[in-house]
Structures are given as structure tokens and as C-alpha cells.
Structure 1
Amino acid sequence: MTVGLNERAKGVYVIAVTPFTDTGEVDIASIDRMVDFYEEAGVDGLTVLGQLGEAPKLTAAESRQVVERVLERLQGRLPVVVGVSAPGLAPMRELADAVMGAGAAGVMVLPPWTLRTDDQIHGFYRSVGEALGDTPFVLQDYPLTTNVQIAPGVIERIVRDVPTCVMLKHEDWPGLAKIGALRAASDAGRMRRISILCGNGGLFLPEEMERGADGAMTGFCFPEMMVGVCRLFEAGEREAAHRLFAAYLPLARYEQQQGLGLAVRKYVLAKRGVLGSAKLRAPGPALSTADVADVERLLAAQERRLAEIGA
């Protein structure tokens, strides 16, 4: 069985999409292909039911179905983190207990948008720790979505007071200084050193690694880029990591568009044979003819650039 999530986690915990059929049902066959694809790409773990996994569009039964299928396909070969954010602690705990019982390694919790003060944020995550018991969890810091600003000092307090908070999903923007501040705090002994994996589609991954991040917890239609960047950094080949990242950056930038980005990701994953359909569950955008032309042009340019640098 996969070891539970802990502070030493590193590498790429890819945010998995949720495949749907053309008529909007959960596509089990595509889940299997997707899991195989991510594993073959070399990721270190998977995160399911994230914001870009269309989790809010799933029923409770579908959420469990997706998690159970991913876990069944992996058979413990990679750790799986499950997003369990909910309006209340009771449904959060219910889903967390279910997925941990099925074999998940840990869960991820996004703060509710109603939190405004440092004490409210700290109090919320203390309550999360109490509600989840021994379950290790990821603090998802995504102010672009939640409008909840979590200062480094507040994260220090949470990490000191809630021992089951083992990872920060860093998705602040701009947020490089926050990574540096947290690493300085752990170096000085003011808090435990926790894992920091970063989001935002990997747009700042090399810079985040330079500041002390342990890897990425995000999605991109070419997860092998993120895996390559993390492995090159671990090997001390920082310039090579930056060159590899730069080859994929135009497509990563295009994929990071608010609203349209997930449609781009699913289009490319379907084109790569991972998904049977590029369908987003309603409400969700569809790519126009002009959008598709943009993506195809970016894919062709990316292929040429990768050949030029021998990647």
C-alpha cells in the first residue's frame, strides 16, 4: 500500500482532469488511460477532485466513483491526494474518511471565501485538523480564486499548531517571496519544514524551484515537462531545466487562460489519445475554430523547439 502523504513529498503531483463522455457522463475507460498516461509520464503522485478536475460539477457519488477508480487503477504504485473542500466540516470529514479508507494518501483543503482575518484563517485550519483526525492534509493557498490572502506568518502558525498539515499547495501570484519566507522560517526553526508544491499551471515552476519549492501540484497537457524540470533541478542541471521549461512556455501560457484553459488542456489530452472526449461538463466553454488554430500552431512550434534543443 502507498505510504501516506508527509512533509518530504516532492516532484510532480499532477492535478488530474475528470474525463467525461460527449454526453456528459463520467468516462471510466478514459480514467484508466489517463492514470496510465500520467504514470508513464513519470509523475510522483496524482491529485484528484481539484478545482480543474471539475470537482464542483460532480455529485457526491460520482466524486467517490472517480477516486475509487483512480485508486483501483494505480494499485498503490503512486500516492493520491484528494480534494475534499466543502462548505462545512461534516461533509469534508465524510469524504475524507471515505477516500482515506479506499487508499488515498492524503487530502487537500481550500479555505472558504468568507475568511477575512488572520485569526479566522488560523482558526479554520485548526478546526480542519481536529475534524480530519490523523488524516494528513494539504493547505491549498489559491487567493486568485478564493480572495483569501494567507500571509507567511499565518502559515507558520498553522504548521506549528496543526501537525497534520504536511504540505502547502502554493498558488499565490505573485508569490515567490512567500516561498522564500517560509523556507527562511523553517531554516530558523520557527516551523516544521513542510513540502511546498506549486500550482498555476506550472507557469513559474523554475523560479519556484529556485526559491525552494519541492515541485509542482498542478495540471498541464504535457506533464512530462514538469517532471523533466523537477528532475533536472534535483540533478543540479538548473540551466537545462530553464531551457526545457521555455520550450513549453507558450502553450502553458495559453492553457492558463481563465475559463478557457481547461478546455485547451482537455483538447490536447484528447488529441494525445488520453481522453475519449474533450468534453467539459456544463457549464463550461468550448474551443472556437480560432482557438483550435491557436493551439495547433503552438503545438507545432513546441515540437520544433523541442527538436532544436534535443529534448
Structure 2
Amino acid sequence: MILPAPLTGVIPPVCTPLTPDREVDAPSLLRLVDHLVEAGVDALFVLGSSSEAAFLTDGQRRLVVETVVAHVGGQLPVLAGAIDMTTPRVLDHVRAVTAAGAAAVVVTAPFYARTHPAEIARHFRLVAADSPVPVVAYDIPAAVHTKLPTDVVLELAADRTICALKDSSGDLAAFRSVVSGARARPSLTGFGVLTGSEVVVDAAMAVGADGVVPGLANVDPHGYVRLHDLCRAADRDAARAEQERLCALFGMVGVGDPTRMGPSSSALGAFKAALHLRGIIACPATAAPQIPLSEAEVERVGKYLAAAGLL
């Protein structure tokens, strides 16, 4: 499917359901995709952070893309993460996910080795030169330890190296700089700027975001579609109320005890527990070495769902 320009709307970063022995649970993945499509989302992003892409084998990654692309049958674009440490490894993933049918690839800055902004720009240009589909830049400094500089993003957008930015930096001021910089340059027409935040979608849309890529949309895609539509309609009071409901629901990511697990185990465990409680996936397992939620923590997730009107 051809990617729209600019990339807009609600694009959930799709969770990867796993079986108890940590294999991809394809039937649950298809139920989750149907849940998202029925809610009216605009595209799907597989193999991102909420997909646990960093924990999946190459074979599992390819299976996820093939399963989702075949199931949606061109109804929606499927974006796929090609996330790895270095350019040659990213290009291996690009070849795999595009062969499986991805309409675009989502790429971070290189990581592990410390890089200069010139090397980051070169990385994206080398990837784009060998990619048969558009490249979306993924700014996630918490994971790759590098913030994509605004000038680099705008330079890469201007020469069509990247078609969009997914900003999961949590830096709304920097996000606004990219939006305003893109809008000020006629050469950047068609460049999409997407927020990866669950909790400031209304603010990001107010400063000109084209869309949103929130992990919590796995759990409540209808809520994010409503929020996006209210923002587009400039119904600020209703948008604020919906955003505040979603902010309260997002509190579930903190149910895990920080003395025994990291924030990723807590957040992804909560998303999967919520999907399991809602009857969408068969098993809430997260990939190793993440620590599973306890029964009491899962019970707390259920309370968040009930308070949000989702149980």
C-alpha cells in the first residue's frame, strides 16, 4: 500500500502477543489488529518499542510483519521497525520487513557506539538509499541515548531522506521546533510530524502535530481516535476531557514494583495484562528477561480499566 503524505492520524505501535513459551501468538495478534482496525485507526506500526522488537528474534520479527500485512490486506498501511545498532544491521532488517510487505520502515539513530550528528545523518541517508519504501525517523533518546537534533531532522526531511518523524523524546519544545521548522519551509510539504506521547496528544496537536503513535492505543484505540478527531475539530474542552481520561488510564504503566522490575517490564506488562483482561490476547506474557507482573499488580491494571470504562 502507498504511504499517504503526510503520514497522519492515529497509528498504534502494535503489541506483540506471545505464548507462555515466548513464541509469537499469531491468533492473538490478529485479534489485536482487528480490535485496532475496528476502532478506526489510520495505520499500524509493528516492531516498535511497544512491540518488544528489541526482544524478538529476526524470525519472530519477520513473522509479525508477514502476519499483519497479510491480514489487513491493504486496508491500512503497515509500518515496520527496522531497529538495530548499526547501518548494516538496520539494512538487513529493511530487506526483511519490506520483503514481508511493509509500506514504510521506522528507523532510530544508531546506538551502542557513540555517534556524531553527521554520522546520524549519514546513517539515515545510507538506509534510505537502499530502502525500497519510505523511511520514518524514530526519535527515542531513552532507548538509543541520542536525541535527534532538530536541524538534522529538517535537513533529512528537506532532501526527502525521511518522510516523517515519530517523536518519543518527551520534549514538547523540541517537537514544536520541528513542527514550526517544517511548516516554514515549502520544500518540506508532505513531511509528517507524529507524537509518540500518550499524555500530551492534545498539546502536540495544538502545536501542529499530524498524528499520534501512542502505545496505550493498543488498550484503548477508540479513545485515541476520539481524541484525535476532537483535536482536529478544535473542540478543546472535549479534547481536554478525553486526554485527561487517557492520562488517568496511562497510570497503569506504573503498577510494577520498581524494587524488582524496570519501567519497561511494568509498562509493557500492564499493556498486555490490560489486553488479556479485555479478552483480546490469550496470554499477557512479555519477552525475556522482562519480569512479569504479580497477581496483585494485574488486579491494579483491572482497576484502571474499570475506572476508564473499559471493563
Q: Do the two structures share a fold, i.e. TM-score over 0.5? A: yes
Distance 2:249 2:240 in 1: 15
Provide the residue aligned with 1:205 in structure 2. Answer: 201
Provide the residue aligned with 1:104 in structure 2. Answer: 102
Quick check: 1:203–1:249 contact (8 Å CA) kept in 2?
yes
Q: Is residue 9 of structure 1 aligned with residue 7 of structure 2?
A: yes
Distance 1:185 1:256 in 2: 35
Q: Is residue 128 of structure 1 aligned with residue 122 of structure 2?
A: no
Amino acid at match of 1:104: A
Distance 2:177 2:287 in 1: 39
SS at match of 2:68: helix
Provide the residue aligned with 2:258 in structure 1. Answer: none
Amino acid at match of 1:39: V
Tell me: CA distance 1:256–1:179, structure 2 relative to 1, closer, same or farther (3 Å).
farther
Match of 1:215 among 199, 203, 211: 211
Distance 2:53 2:202 in 1: 28
Provide the residue aligned with 1:295 in structure 2. Answer: 301
Superposed displacement of residue 266, structure 1: 0.2
Tell me: CA distance 1:99–1:116, structure 2 relative to 1, closer, same or farther (3 Å).
closer
| Stretch of structure 1 that moved more, 48-57 or 69-78 | 48-57
Runs of 5+ consecutive residues of structure 2 not aligned to the other structure: 256-262
Q: Is residue 146 of structure 1 aligned with residue 144 of structure 2?
A: yes
Runs of 5+ consecutive residues of structure 1 not aligned to the other structure: 307-311
Quick check: 1:142–1:170 contact (8 Å CA) kept in 2?
yes
Query: In the TM superposition, what are the counterparts of 1:262-281 in structure 2 within 5 Å?
Result: 262-281=268-287
Distance 1:115 1:169 in 2: 22
Quick check: 1:135–1:164 contact (8 Å CA) kept in 2?
no
Query: In the TM superposition, what are the counterparts of 1:78-97 in structure 2 within 5 Å?
Result: 78-97=76-95
SS at match of 1:278: coil
Q: Is residue 179 of structure 1 aligned with residue 154 of structure 2?
A: no
- Identity value in percent: 31
Quick check: 1:6–1:136 contact (8 Å CA) kept in 2?
no
Provide the residue aligned with 2:250 in structure 1. Answer: 252
Scaled by the length of structure 1, the TM-score of the pair is 0.89
Superposed displacement of residue 51, structure 1: 1.7
Superposed displacement of residue 222, structure 1: 1.1
Distance 1:129 1:183 in 2: 22
SS at match of 1:17: coil
Provide the residue aligned with 2:60 in structure 1. Answer: 62
Superposed displacement of residue 296, structure 1: 2.4
Tell me: CA distance 1:191–1:156, structure 2 relative to 1, closer, same or farther (3 Å).
farther
Superposed displacement of residue 115, structure 1: 4.1
Provide the residue aligned with 1:309 in structure 2. Answer: none
| Stretch of structure 1 that moved more, 175-184 or 134-143 | 175-184
**How many residues end up aligned between the 2 structures?**
298
Quick check: 2:166–2:194 contact (8 Å CA) kept in 1?
yes
Which contiguous aligned blocks of 4+ residues in structure 1 show a shift greater than 6 angstroms?
none
| Stretch of structure 1 that moved more, 236-245 or 111-120 | 111-120
Distance 2:225 2:253 in 1: 18
Distance 1:155 1:164 in 2: 9
Quick check: 1:6–1:166 contact (8 Å CA) kept in 2?
no
Superposed displacement of residue 74, structure 1: 0.5
Provide the residue aligned with 1:50 in structure 2. Answer: 48
